[in-house]
Amino acid sequence: MENENGRSSHHSHKTKSDLLTRLNRIEGQVRGIKGLIEKDTYCDDVLNQIAAVQSALNSVGKLLLTQHMKTCVVERIQEGDHEVIEELMKTMGKLMK
């Protein structure tokens, strides 16, 4: 799928499948948290589930970042497009908040 810059990802079938599996699991965890709130579950238990979701999202982000650097970033640098480094630094800043 291309973004507004006309670029698309270079995910292998395995990577894409892994990302989607992880995201589906996270989606289920988020629905579970919603259910805990609806059932007035003890706050600490809900907070622990939120921490688990945040950790899972970080894991997805690390996997995606690794693949991005190995494929898209390397390719663009090889093409002489060094703006990708600034783009990557901005993205990493957002991920590390």
| Any domain includes 5 | no
Question: pLDDT value at position 97?
Answer: 83
Nearest to 9 by CA among 60, 65, 56, 86: 65
| Any domain includes 69 | yes
- Between helix 83-95 and helix 43-68 the angle, nearest 10°, is 170
Distance CA 75, CA 73 (A): 5
Pair 67, 15: CB distance under 8 Å: yes
Give me the number of domains the chain comprises.
Answer: 1
Average pLDDT, rounded, for the chain = 92
Question: pLDDT value at position 58?
Answer: 95
Question: pLDDT value at position 62?
Answer: 94
| Any domain includes 20 | no
Question: pLDDT value at position 25?
Answer: 98
Distance CA 69, CA 3 (A): 17
3-state helix, strand, coil in the chain (%, to 5): 75, 0, 25
| Any domain includes 96 | yes
73 is in which domain, residue-wise? 43-97
Question: Quick one: average pLDDT of 51-79?
Answer: 95
Task: Tell me how far CA of residue 44 lies from CA of 30, 32, 36, 48, 57, in angstroms.
Answer: 16, 15, 11, 6, 20
| Any domain includes 88 | yes
Question: Quick one: average pLDDT of 21-33?
Answer: 98
Q: What's this model's pTM, rounded to 2 decimal places?
A: 0.83
Residue 5 has pLDDT above 70, yes or no: no
| Any domain includes 26 | no
